A = this chain, B = another copy of it.
Amino acid sequence: MKDGYIDFANSPMGAKLVNALGLPKPLPLERYQPGQPVVKGSVLVGGGGEPRLLEALASAFQRIGAQTLAHERLPQWVSVANKAGLITGRWGGNGKPGEKVKALVFDATGLTDSTQSDALYWFFHDAARSLLPCGRVIVFGRPPEQCKSPRQAAIQRALEGLTRSLGKELKKGSNAQLVYVAEGAEEQIESTLRFLISPRSAYVSAQVIRIGAPVGTAEIPGDWAKPLAGRKVLVTGASRGIGAAIAEVMAREGADVICLDVPQAKEPLEAVARKLGGKAIAMDIGAEDAPQKLVDAAKADGGWDVIVHNAGITRDKTIANMKEHLWQLVVNVNLSTQERINDAMVSAGALRRGGRIVCVSSISGIAGNMGQTNYAVSKAGVVGMVQACAPIFSEYGITINAVAPGFIETQMTAAIPFAIREAGRRMNSMSQGGQPVDVAETIAWFASPASAGITGNVVRVCGQSLIGA
């Protein structure tokens, strides 16, 4: 759970050795602490073509309280920002860089043809060296599948090549994301901007996020520090590890948490719930009557607002050596159970309008893994479930999304043999494993009432792990 190498590589002697040997140099990642500003430093803004998001960005930055700067090729930012009541200035110019910044935000929604791609070049060429450690790159575009012309779709899809390359190039704990905003969904960006530009997204990199029209009613939290105030949030598998971290972050965000785990984990489960002022439910969610029991519990509680399907198990063997009941067990707990609970809770109205379902997939479900056919089937199925349920649940005002963790430091990963563990830890753009809180922060972003524009998304929390296919 403790990665001693990070401390070593950042100690005076360790740093020398690491440099001399060309070893990976993981930087301790900045993580969110309540009370901190959303972004600790200036934000440099750029754009290409006729960018469509500037007004929405300016008002979001104004509410965030960010200090922005205009790249010389986006001079109009100054007036847009001023109109929004945002303090702003100009950055560099004539080939000279300006001050160091914490984030690079590029509005690429105006690009309609690949011949305009030099707009990307100028902004990132000029600014790449001016990004502070643990910096943020966010490129906004239009969903290629909704573009009016193939030329526009091609340049918009091309943005993914840029952000994924920058994620690998920037190093020093910085990350890079691509956010596709559907036409008309410009006002839905704020929760995503706040998440991505802040240390909450520490271990999320090279992701592609789609924001669309709001599902149900978009709500602006009265207090962005407590967006889940008054919301009842069920977290399964909450007795330890990632589940306990999720419950904790949910409570920090203001939620009333309902912590669920198997009866054998009753004691640590109740300890977690007690600490967070929440409830505990000890039950086996894989059982046939579990969905109805949850519906009853939710209804008795006046309905719940968020379900986090964190509970999951592994039973690893090559397919030739695997026993049938371990295949069935894993697929049932990790996939079929989630399907049954979602359908029961949504159709019974036990998950209220404005509800959020957040599932946990896995890099193994995306890329496959040796010895994990059962697990990968279940976790790939979660992706399918999320994508297929999104349009259906939206009629109930409910979103459904998934996180797909990569190498996260837990008791489970601590038990992995050293060499394999080290490979998992280092083979990503952060040269380190993630923390359970990184998964939890991502889930909290999906769970926010302000994230009504986000459904059917699968976001990896993997530090841009090399592993993908």
Name A residues whose Cβ lies closer than 8 Å to a Cβ of B.
113-115, 117-118, 120-122, 124-125, 128-129, 144-145, 147, 149-151, 153-169, 206, 318-320, 322, 324, 327-328, 331-332, 335-336, 339, 364-385, 387-389, 392, 427, 460, 462, 464-469
Q: Given the known A-B contacts A166-B368, A168-B369, A377-B162, are A339 and B384 also in contact in the complex, defined by CB atoms under 8 Å?
A: no
Within the complex, the shortest CB–CB distance from A337 to chain B, in Å, comes to: 9
- Closest 5 A/B residue pairs (Cβ): A468-B468, A157-B384, A164-B368, A161-B380, A161-B376
Within the complex, the shortest CB–CB distance from A319 to chain B, in Å, comes to: 5
Q: Given the known A-B contacts A150-B389, A166-B373, A371-B169, are A159 and B128 also in contact in the complex, defined by CB atoms under 8 Å?
A: no
Within the complex, the shortest CB–CB distance from A245 to chain B, in Å, comes to: 24
Q: Are B469 and A153 in contact (CB under 8 A)?
A: no
Q: Given the known A-B contacts A206-B469, A322-B121, A324-B118, are A165 and B369 also in contact in the complex, defined by CB atoms under 8 Å?
A: yes
Q: Are A158 and B377 in contact (CB under 8 A)?
A: yes
| Chain B residue nearest to A468 in the complex (CB) | B468
For the residues of A in contact with B, the DSSP-based class is helix
Q: Are A388 and B150 in contact (CB under 8 A)?
A: yes
| Chain B residue nearest to A115 in the complex (CB) | B336
Q: Are A128 and B319 in contact (CB under 8 A)?
A: yes
Q: CB-CB < 8 A to A124: which residues of B?
A: 319, 373
Contact sample, A vs B, 30 pairs, CB 8 Å cutoff: A114-B331, A114-B339, A124-B373, A125-B319, A125-B320, A125-B322, A128-B319, A149-B388, A150-B388, A153-B387, A156-B384, A157-B380, A157-B383, A158-B335, A159-B380, A160-B368, A161-B380, A162-B373, A162-B380, A164-B367, A164-B469, A165-B369, A165-B376, A166-B319, A166-B373, A206-B469, A366-B468, A460-B469, A466-B467, A466-B468
Q: Given the known A-B contacts A154-B388, A206-B469, A320-B125, are A165 and B373 also in contact in the complex, defined by CB atoms under 8 Å?
A: yes
How far is A384 from B155 in the complex, measured between Cα atoms in Å? Answer: 7
Q: Are B373 and A151 in contact (CB under 8 A)?
A: no
Q: CB-CB < 8 A to A166: which residues of B?
A: 319, 368, 373
Interface centre among A124, A129, A157 (most CB of B within 10 A): A157
Within the complex, the shortest CB–CB distance from A468 to chain B, in Å, comes to: 1
Within the complex, the shortest CB–CB distance from A108 to chain B, in Å, comes to: 11
Q: Are B157 and A114 in contact (CB under 8 A)?
A: no
Q: Are A381 and B169 in contact (CB under 8 A)?
A: no
Q: How many copies does the complex hold?
A: 2
Q: Are A373 and B460 in contact (CB under 8 A)?
A: no
Within the complex, the shortest CB–CB distance from A282 to chain B, in Å, comes to: 25
| Chain B residue nearest to A176 in the complex (CB) | B368
| Chain B residue nearest to A469 in the complex (CB) | B468
How far is A398 from B106 in the complex, measured between Cα atoms in Å? Answer: 36
Q: Are B319 and A167 in contact (CB under 8 A)?
A: no
Q: Are B161 and A122 in contact (CB under 8 A)?
A: no
Q: CB-CB < 8 A to A368: which residues of B?
A: 160-168, 206
Q: Are B387 and A151 in contact (CB under 8 A)?
A: no
Q: CB-CB < 8 A to A320: which residues of B?
A: 125, 128-129
Q: Are A380 and B160 in contact (CB under 8 A)?
A: yes
With A160-B380, A161-B376, A164-B380 given, name 13 new contacts (CB 8 A): A117-B327, A124-B319, A124-B373, A154-B381, A154-B384, A157-B384, A164-B376, A165-B371, A165-B373, A166-B368, A169-B319, A206-B469, A464-B469
